[in-house]
Chains A and B, each alone.
Chain A
Amino acid sequence: MSTAELVLNVSGISKRFGGLQALTDISMRIERGQVYGLIGPNGAGKTTFFNVITGLYTPDSGSFELAGQPYEPTEVHLVAQAGIARTFQNIRLFAEMTALENVMVGRHVRTGSGLLGAIFRTKKFMAEEAAIAQRAHELLDYVGISAFADYKARTLSYGDQRRLEIARALATDPQLIALDEPAAGMNATEKTQLRALIDKIRNDHRTVLLIEHDVKLVMGLCDRVTVLDDGKVIAEGTPADVQRNPHVINAYLGTGGH
C-alpha cells in the first residue's frame, strides 16, 4: 500500500480570510486509483479547500505536489492543464451546445490546433478533429449517455447532466477528478447509478476526490476519508475507522449538551 503512487500530496495548507481562519494546517495524501472522500458539516471548509486546490484561492502557507510535480495553481485555466478536472455542485454545462460538443470542449486542453489550421483545414487539423470527436464519443459511451450525443446539454435529465459533466471532466485526461457534491439533488436510483459510475472510474485506475454531504454514499464508496470541521482535519482513515472516531461523531451529532 505505502509504495502506491501519490497523485495529490497536500501538506500544511492554511488559509485565512480577514479574522476567519478558514483552513488550518490541512494535509492529505491521495494515491492513484483511490476514491478519496472529503466530508464535514456545513462551514467546515470543504469548499474553501476545493477552491484552493483548483486555483481560485492562493493558500497562505503549505504546498502541493501533483503526480510528483510541485503544483502551484496561479490561474484557474492552468489547473486543468496540470491535471485536476472538476465538476460543479450546481451543474455548469455549456447549455446550448450538444452533449458531444460539451465533451469535445474538454479535449481542448490536450489538443493544439489554432485559427489557421481551422480555416485551411490542414491535414493535421482534420486528424486532430477526428480524434477529438472519437474520444468524445467514447467518453459519452463510457458514462452511458451516448444516445444523447446530438442533444443540447440543457435538454438532458438531471442525472444525465451530471454524467455529462463527469465525461467532460474526464476528457481533459486528468490525474485527479474532483467531484463537488455530485449526489446533491439526486434520487435513490440516480445515486445508485452514480455510485456505479464512480466505481467504474476507480477500476480504470483513475483517482477521484469526492466532496460530499451524503455520508452514506461516501462511506460506501471511498477508500479513504478525511473529515474536516472548523477548518481542521479531525479525522483521517478508512471509512470504518472514521465512523468510529469520537471527534467525528461529536462534529456530526453533537455532544448532547452533557
Chain B
Amino acid sequence: MISTMTHKFFSNRWALALLLLTLPLMLQNVGHAWVRIADMSLLYVLLALGLNIVVGYAGLLDLGYVAFFAVGAYLYALLASPHLTDVFPWISVMFPDGLHLSLWLVLPMAAGLAGLFGVLLGAPTLKLRGDYLAIVTLGFGEIIRVFLNNLDQPVNITNGPKGLGQIDAVTVFGYPLSKQLDLGFIQLPSVTLYYYLFLTLVVVSVVVCHRLEYSRIGRAWMAIREDEIAAKAMGLNTRNLKLMAFGMGATFGGLSGAMFAAFQGFVSPESFSLMESVMIVAMVVLGGLGHLPGVILGAVLLAALPEALRYVAGPLQSMTDGRLNAAILRQLLIALAMITIMLWRPRGLWPTPEHGKSLNPQGGPR
C-alpha cells in the first residue's frame, strides 16, 4: 500500500521537484536547525550514491568508504584555511594573502585525489570478495582516520585531533553562501543557500549514476556482481572494471567531503569514524542495493532519523525523570528501526522491481 503510494508520488516528477525546492523555505520557518538536517541528508545522499556504485552495482562490500569523504574534506580544509600558511612560512611567502583556494578549483582535485585513493584501495583487494574484502576496506578506512589523527607530528599537517577550522565558505558567482541572501520578498539564510547547492549536486549525481547504470560499463559492473567467473569468460576485464568502480565511487565521496568541509567550516578526524562508514553501507542496503530511488530514500531516512529522534528521546527522558539517557535511547531506537525494516523488507525499502527493469521495447538507455 504505502510503497505504491510513494511510488506514484515520486514518479510524479513535478510534485517531487516542487517539494524539494520549497522544502527549505518551509523548514526555515520552523528553525534553521531543520534546514541543516536537510543539508546533511543531501550530503549523505551523495555519499550513498557513490557507495552504491561500489556495493550496489559492482557488488564489492566496502566498509571504509568514509575514508574518501575524509580525503575530500581535508583537501579542501587544507587548501582553504589559514592552517598551512600558519605552519609553513614558505607557503605564507608564496601566498601572502593566505591560502584561499576556491571550492570550485578544489572540487575536481578532491574528486581526483579521492578517485586515486579508491584505485589504491582497489588494487590490493582485487582478488578478495565478500567478508574478506569488507575486512580489508574496514582497515583502510581506519588507517586514513589514524593518519589524520596523528599527522600533527613531526610536521603539523592535519593538526591532529584538534582538527582544522576557519575553513572558507563556498562562494557562488562571488557571493559567499555564509551570508543571508535578501531577495526582498523572502530571506534566504546560509543553510538554505547551501541546501540549494547540495540539491544541485545531488541531482547531477543522480543523473550520472543513472546513466552509468544503463551503460556498457554499468552492465559489466553488475555482471561482475552476479557472477565473476562468467563475467571473465565473457571477456570482461574484471581487474580494470573493479578499479573503475572503486575509483568512480570514491570520487563521489571526495566531492561530498569537500562540500562538507566548506559547509561546516571545521573538520576533525572524529567525523570520519568507522561508524560513519557503517551508516553509509546501512543506507545503501536498507534503501535497496543498486536501485537509485531506494538508495536515496535510505540515505534521507537514516540521516534524518537520528535528528528527528532527538524530539522523541528528549520527552522520553524527562518522562522517566532523566533515568533514560537520551543519546543511548536514540541509538536504541535507530537500531530497532533498522531491524524492523530488514525483517519487514529484506531486499530493502525500495528494491529493484522484479520484472521489466528495461521495459522500453528497445532496451536502450533512457
Asked if A92 is an interface residue, CB under 8 A from chain B, the answer is yes
For B59, give the chain A residue with the smallest CB separation.
A96
Q: For residue A155, which residues in chain B have a CB less than 8 angstroms away from its CB?
A: 355
Contact residues, B199-253 vs A (CB, 8 A): 208, 211-212, 214-220, 222-223, 226-227, 229-238, 244, 248
Asked if B354 is an interface residue, CB under 8 A from chain A, the answer is yes
Contact residues, B323-357 vs A (CB, 8 A): 352, 354-357
* Among B233, B236, B238, B358, contact of A98 (Cβ-Cβ < 8 Å): B358
Q: For residue A152, which residues in chain B have a CB less than 8 angstroms away from its CB?
A: 354-355, 357
* Among A88, A96, A119, A129, contact of B216 (Cβ-Cβ < 8 Å): A129
Asked if B362 is an interface residue, CB under 8 A from chain A, the answer is yes
Are the CB atoms of A108 and B234 closer together than 8 Å?
yes
Are the CB atoms of A109 and B235 closer together than 8 Å?
yes
Expressed in whole angstroms, the minimum distance between the Cβ of B151 and any Cβ of chain A is 32
Q: For residue B359, which residues in chain A have a CB less than 8 angstroms away from its CB?
A: 150
Given A94-B223, A94-B230, A119-B211, are A100 and B358 neighbors across the interface (CB < 8 Å)? Answer: yes
Are the CB atoms of A76 and B233 closer together than 8 Å?
yes
Asked if A125 is an interface residue, CB under 8 A from chain B, the answer is yes
Are the CB atoms of A168 and B362 closer together than 8 Å?
no
Interface 1/0 per residue, B302-314 and A, CB below 8 Å: 0000000000000
Are the CB atoms of A93 and B358 closer together than 8 Å?
no
* Among B215, B235, B244, B357, contact of A79 (Cβ-Cβ < 8 Å): B235
Q: Number of residues in A with C-beta < 8 Å to the partner?
A: 51
Instruction: Give the complex CA separation of A115 and B218 in angstroms.
Output: 9
Asked if A77 is an interface residue, CB under 8 A from chain B, the answer is yes
Q: For residue A95, which residues in chain B have a CB less than 8 angstroms away from its CB?
A: 226-227
Most chain A C-beta atoms within 10 Å of own C-beta, residue among B214, B226, B356? B226
Are the CB atoms of B219 and A101 closer together than 8 Å?
yes
Are the CB atoms of A129 and B364 closer together than 8 Å?
yes
Q: For residue A14, which residues in chain B have a CB less than 8 angstroms away from its CB?
A: none
Q: Number of residues in B with C-beta < 8 Å to the partner?
A: 37
Q: For residue B233, which residues in chain A have a CB less than 8 angstroms away from its CB?
A: 54, 76-77, 79-80, 85-86, 88, 92
Given A76-B232, A77-B235, are A133 and B223 neighbors across the interface (CB < 8 Å)? Answer: no
Are the CB atoms of B363 and A94 closer together than 8 Å?
no
Are the CB atoms of B216 and A113 closer together than 8 Å?
yes
Are the CB atoms of A168 and B234 closer together than 8 Å?
yes
Are the CB atoms of B235 and A115 closer together than 8 Å?
no
Q: For residue A96, which residues in chain B have a CB less than 8 angstroms away from its CB?
A: 222, 226, 352
Expressed in whole angstroms, the minimum distance between the Cβ of A130 and any Cβ of chain B is 5
Expressed in whole angstroms, the minimum distance between the Cβ of B95 and any Cβ of chain A is 34
Asked if A222 is an interface residue, CB under 8 A from chain B, the answer is no
Given A94-B226, A95-B226, are A136 and B363 neighbors across the interface (CB < 8 Å)? Answer: yes
Instruction: Give the complex CA separation of A100 and B355 in angstroms.
Output: 12
Instruction: Give the complex CA separation of A98 and B355 in angstroms.
Output: 8
Are the CB atoms of A118 and B216 closer together than 8 Å?
yes
Given A108-B216, A152-B354, are A133 and B236 neighbors across the interface (CB < 8 Å)? Answer: no
Given A77-B236, A115-B248, A133-B362, are A128 and B227 neighbors across the interface (CB < 8 Å)? Answer: no
Are the CB atoms of B212 and A119 closer together than 8 Å?
yes
Given A104-B219, A118-B216, are A109 and B236 neighbors across the interface (CB < 8 Å)? Answer: yes
Are the CB atoms of A150 and B230 closer together than 8 Å?
no
Asked if B322 is an interface residue, CB under 8 A from chain A, the answer is no
Q: For residue A97, which residues in chain B have a CB less than 8 angstroms away from its CB?
A: 219, 222-223, 226
Are the CB atoms of B364 and A133 closer together than 8 Å?
yes
For A110, give the chain B residue with the smallest CB separation.
B235
For A112, give the chain B residue with the smallest CB separation.
B216
Are the CB atoms of A118 and B211 closer together than 8 Å?
yes
Are the CB atoms of B230 and A88 closer together than 8 Å?
yes
Are the CB atoms of A92 and B230 closer together than 8 Å?
yes
Given A126-B365, A133-B363, are A108 and B235 neighbors across the interface (CB < 8 Å)? Answer: yes
Q: For residue B237, which residues in chain A have a CB less than 8 angstroms away from its CB?
A: 77
For B357, give the chain A residue with the smallest CB separation.
A98
Most chain B C-beta atoms within 10 Å of own C-beta, residue among A88, A119, A134, A169? A119
Asked if A151 is an interface residue, CB under 8 A from chain B, the answer is yes
Expressed in whole angstroms, the minimum distance between the Cβ of A167 and any Cβ of chain B is 12
Are the CB atoms of A108 and B354 closer together than 8 Å?
no
Q: A77-B236, A79-B235 are in contact. List 13 more A-B contacts (CB 8 A).
A: A80-B233, A80-B234, A80-B235, A97-B223, A97-B226, A105-B219, A108-B236, A119-B212, A128-B216, A130-B362, A133-B363, A136-B363, A172-B234
Q: Which residues of A contact B (CB under 8 A)?
A: 54, 76-81, 85-86, 88, 92-98, 100-101, 104-109, 111, 113-115, 117-119, 121, 125-126, 128-130, 132-134, 136-137, 149-152, 155, 168-169, 172
A-B pairs with beta carbons under 8 Å apart, 20 shown: A78-B235, A80-B235, A86-B233, A88-B229, A92-B229, A94-B230, A96-B352, A97-B219, A97-B223, A100-B363, A101-B357, A105-B236, A114-B217, A115-B212, A115-B217, A119-B208, A119-B212, A133-B363, A150-B355, A150-B357
6 shortest A-B CB distances, which residue pairs? A80-B235, A109-B235, A118-B215, A94-B226, A92-B230, A76-B232
